Chain A
């Protein structure tokens, strides 16, 4: 239990092209609170164009699943930004319009 120092810590730095993008992803991912907060704590901040996520965990399995899901969601937010930011401008030269597969 969180009386003493957490036995497991992990820090992730995810760089984005601009501070705005890093801040958007931070705000998107900050909404969902971690379950079982006595087992894991998460801190999110943006430093310039870098999104920093720090995890304190008291259970290594919990750390693995939490970080796994977090990175999947970060990748999804990033993919959404890549596809839809400035969509209007890119649409003009056709590069924003990728054909559907499947």
Chain B
């Protein structure tokens, strides 16, 4: 039995998790606490401020996690932390707490790859054995399959991550970052009725979202501002379908020289004089971007002959993405596995889980090697804990 504590702080979530590991099939989750640095609508999170957030919460969260687990540091066998990839200053701030605890209590320390941690957390929670993994978050978009002791990247974004695309669009239309920009886009998308034409960019196994973002930002420029913006964001009740349809005064799409005019014309079938509404934009963004992800994931499944697909990362808790992936998997006679936000979104437990697997298979990181790195590819890690 090994008790591991994990520290995650590579982006705007600070998480501390504790797991008791007995065997690859026997785990106890003892604690998994998290605090998110939430910026005002329209603003992203900057490294400096995010690091300050982590420093001010690290000790509090660690105490809370130990309290929930009913343990003291003395009961912990191994300390795990995120080495990367992620934002430098937040990573280092979190690592400092992990190092200090390890030295104070003379515990071994394990440097964990954030992406590998997402995969191992997903496998542990869902029971998926050897899935094709779609890892989708604010900083990463990768289609991954395991082969010969590596998590190999079959396809990935060639520019921005899907979550970054969603976050930035949420900023453009001023959606709150609380609880998460992607969550708020998902709620708006439920009320969308018209699919607006957006660039669909799949290049071989890779995807691209920057053109999609540019185009939808242009479209958002012709949003009917007052009614769409304020009425929608202040109605916190259950989503209702119709309030925008037909209620718009007919507006001329603003940038008449841009492709925006052309694309809005594709929605002529609807009675709505201006189909460019926040719900339709969110809906179209999700449908287009997620279809790209499902396509590349399906190709990876066909290539490796897999029937399981596991969706991890913050965007992985999007219900629409899970449903689209489920439709695809079912048509192939396969299964989609996904976790809820406690385990999908960055958390400390996933670092503890991956770390304890590494520790159990002989890893240990020397203190002088516990530095952090902003770039750390998923396939750099030798997966010593899997024998298949």
Contact B89 A80 (CB under 8 A): no
Proximity string of chain A (23-34) to chain B, C-beta cutoff 8 Å, 1 when within and 0 when not: 011011111110
Whether B104 sits at the interface, judged by CB under 8 Å, is yes
Whether B231 sits at the interface, judged by CB under 8 Å, is no
Residues of chain A within 8 A (CB-CB) of B101 are 80, 84
A72 shortest CB reach to chain B, Å: 6
Asked, given contacts A27-B367, A72-B52, A91-B72, whether A84 binds B62 with beta carbons under 8 Å apart, the answer is: yes
Pick the residue among A24, A32, A33, A72 that contacts B55 (CB under 8 A).
A72
Whether B63 sits at the interface, judged by CB under 8 Å, is yes
Pick the residue among A30, A32, A75, A80 that contacts B104 (CB under 8 A).
A80
Residues of chain A within 8 A (CB-CB) of B370 are 31
Contact A27 B55 (CB under 8 A): no
Pick the residue among B58, B96, B372 that contacts A28 (CB under 8 A).
B96
Residues of chain A within 8 A (CB-CB) of B317 are none
Contact B97 A76 (CB under 8 A): yes
Residues of chain B within 8 A (CB-CB) of A73 are 55, 92-93, 96
Whether B1 sits at the interface, judged by CB under 8 Å, is no
Whether B303 sits at the interface, judged by CB under 8 Å, is no
Whether B128 sits at the interface, judged by CB under 8 Å, is no
Proximity string of chain B (147-184) to chain A, C-beta cutoff 8 Å, 1 when within and 0 when not: 00000000000000000000000000000000000000
Interface residues on A, range: 20 to 34
Residues of chain A within 8 A (CB-CB) of B59 are 76, 79-80, 83-84
Interface residues on B, range: 20 to 34
Contact B55 A28 (CB under 8 A): no
Smallest Cβ-Cβ distance to A80: which chain B residue: B100
Pick the residue among A27, A32, A85 that contacts B371 (CB under 8 A).
A32
- How far apart sit A81 and B52, CA to CA, in the bound complex (Å)? 18
Residues of chain B within 8 A (CB-CB) of A69 are 89
- How far apart sit A58 and B103, CA to CA, in the bound complex (Å)? 33
Q: A interface vs B, CB < 8 Å?
A: 24-25, 27-33, 69, 72-73, 75-77, 79-81, 83-85, 87-88, 91, 97-98, 100-102
30 A–B contacts from the bound complex (CB under 8 Å)? A27-B103, A30-B368, A31-B95, A31-B367, A31-B370, A32-B92, A32-B371, A33-B371, A72-B52, A72-B93, A73-B92, A73-B93, A76-B97, A77-B97, A77-B99, A80-B100, A80-B104, A81-B100, A83-B63, A84-B59, A84-B73, A84-B105, A85-B104, A87-B73, A87-B74, A88-B72, A91-B72, A100-B60, A100-B67, A101-B60
The 10 A-B residue pairs with the shortest CB-CB distance in the complex, in nearest-first order: A80-B100, A28-B99, A24-B103, A77-B100, A76-B55, A87-B72, A73-B96, A83-B59, A28-B100, A80-B97
